[in-house]
Structure 1
Amino acid sequence: MALSGFEGFEKRLELQFSGDDPAIGIGLRRLHFSSIEEVLAAVQCTVVSAVGNQYFDAYVLSESSLFVYPTKIIIKTCGTTQLLKSIPPLLSHAHLLGLKICSCRYTRGNFIFPKAQPFPHTSFRDEAFYLEETLPSHLCYRKASVMPSKLPLQYTWHVFSASEEDQLVMEQKNPDVFTIEVCMTELDRVLGRKFFRPTGDSNSGDVAGKEMTVLTGIGGINPGALICDFAFDPCGYSMNGMDGAHYSTIHVTPEDGYSYASFECVGSIGDDREDIGETLKKVVKVFRPAKMSVSITTCAGIEVWINVKNALETIGLNCRSYVVDEFPAMGSIVFQTFTTRRT
């Protein structure tokens, strides 16, 4: 907890592994819960709720989310967690399962309260150095980049990637898949109050979370998804959605002065699900942020980000800036920023 308020902006780590056939095995899903708790103890957070399907397991954490696939793990944490310290225990547990890391991606915005962050998150330079020293040497294709915008410093996007040579070929087998990371600040105050629990509420976090999902309209963003949600006391909310092999996640810090919400999902171009632009319009209507950023990681070219820009501009958000960068084994990252006409 920062002295001025809770840090909503998340750190996100994605690790890909090889060595286990996901078609016949379960890979990382074989991790015992005690091993997961050990990893999270290094990060300084805990599991508060969990759900799984045939494709992956999703955990709501005391600070954001964890997703475990057979050969991929994604950890997203907020507050003053030490996310990158999860790497050594994860590599150790994966080795015992016969898995070897083949790529790493780390992303985040700028923190609202940067001076409250502990090492190695004291600066992006420190984070990049820690990653360089911690990741094994066979991940030889590495890049660290800061993607700027015309908005305040929170909306600078930081990316570190590392991969082995073989992964450059592997990523092209699924070129239409994209990941979208959305950060929103200055949330509408009336809508933000819906993420505060009523005075005297004695419900569990799970029950209160389900009520918030309905009350806020989050349940309508992807009605077909299986939702695992949790409401914190006295305020704050997290959810993970499972839609087949795809996940989505939302996290909300609603306090005035540093209100923040995030949305993240994975999609595929040309699938039969709702267009991503329409999905983001629903997200914006839940929160009505004054400022937001959208980061899209894809090998599919510019179609996705143009779709997003056109959709958001129809509901009063102006695209203030965009920047594109290329990363080993990841394709392109397009980073866009938006503001409402009232800002």
Structure 2
Amino acid sequence: MADLAPPPAPSGPFEGPEKLLEIWFAPSAADCPDAASSTDGKFGLRRVPRPVWEEMLDIVKCKILSAVEGTETDAYLLRSELEWPTHTTICDLLYALALSRTGAAFCVGVIVESSFFVSPHRLILKTCGTTLNLLGVPRILEIARDHAGLPSVYRLFYSRKAFMFPERQIGPHREWKAEIEFLDNLFPNGSAYTVGKVNGDHWLLYLTSPGDSSSPNGDTAPNSPIVPHGTYPPIPSTSAAAESSAINGDADDADDTIASDYTIEILMTNLSPEGRAPFFNKTPPEDADATAGADGMALSSEIGISNLFPEHLTTLDAYSFSPCGYSCNALLKWRPDAGQNPSRPGEGYYTIHVTPEEGWSYASFECNVPLPTSSTDKPTSVPDLKTLIRRVVDIFRPGRLTLTLFISSKDNDAAEEEEGESAVEAAQRAFKSALTLPPKRSGRGDDAGERGGAFAGLYKRTDKINYEFGGYDLAFASFELRSS
């Protein structure tokens, strides 16, 4: 009768794909009303007391685990006990039992891995599981108005990969249409998009444009201020050498050589056994909470996460959940003068969340540091896009992955091009080169496949889409493993 034992407590399957909310209250940190009077970088949204953010996160169903303060950004690691929806049925339990009999691993008492980043003019909230990301938006608008003197939204972005288990979501997150309706009630002129195969890997995006957003009292915001020259430079048209120089702080006029807003996401599913194994916590349960931070940092070093970017540029905060799961936030000081001039950003972030259970394994990587498209040939430099993709993929070894690169442009119609190749086409070329071609051997030991024999395999591209939005370009691509 042993095989008739009841299934584990209803803590899975677990929804790994995150809800990503990004709200800009001004075009740049320099446009915050108190920017000129600040002496410590704590102005705008960074002046909001932590208890106020905690009260907002209670609405979202998250708690702050730890925080790191940078020169321009505060990074919070979050947790939330997985909420089992009230509509759980006997079919759900039978499904869980069936998975358990096939050897699928369960993590009883799964913790939701989430992150929260606060800059003077912008915040980013990334949550997974059954968290209620969108329900926090009205309170966020109030906080920005009352505590930071930012009464209206400049731009809003909400995006997510298609859910694995949408029926387990709560409130407006049960379906994309409901999420759109919720946001439309706050931002009457927002736009919603589905990018990719509706019956396959696809990505959902809702965004507003300057002047389209609402103020916290529900009124339509006035037209956004004219963006000062240089705040939103065009898509880069410089050489790889100049691009690298800018990213590594070697040029005084680097503002015009890189895009002002750049976000790369790598969303991975069907992780290999080798990619999943490190994220099952071996610490005894009674000690897990006390050592979670140290365990997370040790794991980051052991599997190569600490080496994704040069250590001297990185401040890492990692957490290893019990019995499984992992999250990290990293602040990256990619310009040596970061924090000294609000109009010249020089600090970015990356964040990683991992759900390792077999049957619904998932890992995500997100970074907003502008990356060169060609190798910098310096081990102490920010890696180029191709190298970073391969480093991430070789850690998790997914069976399938989706990549998105969201990059700002001053005017898509007039975007400058170099040698007939736009920024998104350069990104698509880097995606394909990183994943479909064997790594080159340079002898330096920093290429994919030369880091402890970690080369995980080759992929075939299953989808490629370039999209133009108002002020932004998107490169979207999907890949699946073809050989290990």
Which whole-Å CA distance do the structure 2 matches of 1:261 and 1:83 have between them? Answer: 19
Asked if structure 2 preserves the Cα contact closer than 8 Å seen for 1:188 and 1:287, the reply is: yes
Letter of the 1:163 partner, please give it.
S
CA change 1:4–1:196 in 2 (3 A) is closer
Using the alignment, how far apart are the partners of 2:331 and 2:36 within structure 1?
19
CA distance in 2, matches of 1:199, 1:89: 38
Distance 1:2 1:163 in 2: 41
Q: How far, CA to CA, are the matches of 1:216 and 1:169 in structure 2? A: 46
TM-score, structure 1 length as denominator?
A: 0.91
Q: 1:42 aligns with which of 51, 56, 59?
A: 59
Q: Is the 8 A contact 2:353 2:365 kept in 1?
A: yes
Secondary structure of the corresponding residue to residue 357 of structure 2: coil
Larger displacement relative to structure 2 (312-321 or 25-34): 312-321
Question: Which of 51, 66, 76 is equivalent to 1:59?
Answer: 76
Structure 1 distance, partners of 2:15, 2:141, is 27
1:236 aligns with 2:325: yes
Deviation at 1:247, TM superposition (A): 0.4
Partner residue of 1:208 out of 274, 290, 295: 295
Tell me which residue corresponds to 1:251.
Answer: 353
Task: Assess if the C-alpha contact under 8 Å between 1:205 and 1:230 holds in 2.
Answer: yes
In the TM superposition, residue 123 of structure 1 has moved relative to its aligned partner by 0.7
- Counterpart CA distance in 2 for 1:2 and 1:15 is 34
Structure 1 residues 132 and 312: CA distance shift in structure 2, 3 A:
same
Letter in 1 for 2:406: T
Corresponding residue of 1:134: 186
Distance across 2 between alignment mates of 1:87 and 1:310: 39
Question: Which runs of structure 1 show a deviation greater than 6 angstroms over 4 or more consecutive aligned residues?
Answer: none
Other-structure match for 1:339: 480
Q: Relative to structure 1, is the Cα distance of residues 292 and 147 closer, same or farther in structure 2, using a 3 angstrom cutoff?
A: same
Give the distance between the partners of 1:246 and 1:82, measured in 2 at CA. 26
Given that 1:51 and 1:228 are in contact with CA atoms closer than 8 Å, whether structure 2 keeps it comes out as yes
Structure 1 gaps, min length 5 = none
Corresponding residue number in structure 1 for 2:339: none
Q: What are the Cα deviations for residues 276-326 of structure 1, in whole angstroms up to 9, with x where unaligned?
A: 210111001101001000011013442223222212222512211111222
Aligned to 1:92: 142
Aligned counterparts of 2:16 and 2:232: Cα–Cα separation in 1 = 33
Distance change >3 Å, CA 301–CA 294, structure 1 → 2: closer
2:184 aligned with 1:160, yes or no?
Answer: no
Q: Percent same amino acid among aligned pairs?
A: 32
Question: 1:89 and 1:174 mapped to 2: Cα distance?
Answer: 34
Contact 1:2 1:116 (C-alpha < 8 Å) held by counterparts: no
| Post-superposition offset of 1:215 | 2.0
Indicate how the Cα distance of structure 1 residues 320 and 24 shifts in structure 2: closer, same or farther if over 3 A, else same.
Answer: farther
Is the Cα–Cα contact under 8 Å of residues 168 and 328 in structure 1 kept in the other structure? no
Give the direction of change, closer, same or farther, for the CA distance of 1:2–1:23 in structure 2 (3 Å limit).
farther
**Residue-pair matches, total:** 336
SS of 1:7's partner is coil
Pick the structure with more strand per residue. Answer: 1
**In the alignment, residue 98 of structure 1 is paired with which amino acid?**
G
Deviation at 1:43, TM superposition (A): 0.6
1:57 to 1:219, Cα distance in 2 relative to 1, 3 A? same
- Residue of 289, 300, 322 corresponding to 2:398: 289
Corresponding residue for residue 116 of structure 1? 168
Q: Which residue identity does 1:267 align to in structure 2?
A: V
Bigger-Rg structure (1/2): 2
Work out whether residues 161 and 328 of structure 1, in 8 Å CA contact, stay in contact via their aligned partners in 2. Answer: no
**Aligned residue in 1 for 2:370:** 268
Q: Which moved more, 1:164-173 or 1:221-230?
A: 164-173
Residue of 316, 321, 324 corresponding to 2:466: 324
Q: Give the TM-score, by structure 2 length.
A: 0.66
SS of the equivalent of 2:172 reads coil
The equivalent of 2:280 in structure 1 is 196
* Equivalence for 1:16: 24
1: CA distance, partners of 2:36 / 2:195: 37
Shift of 1:212: 1.3
Hey, what's the Cα distance between the residues in 1 that align with 2:467 and 2:10?
32
Match of 1:172 in 2: 232
Give, in whole Å, the separation in 1 of the partners of 2:308 and 2:171: 36
Change (3 A) 1:196 1:332: same
Instruction: Return 269-278 or 106-115, whichever deviates more.
Output: 269-278
**Secondary structure in structure 1 of the residue aligned to 2:368:** strand
Instruction: Determine the structure 2 residue equivalent to 1:27.
Output: 44
CA shift at 1:23, angstroms? 5.7
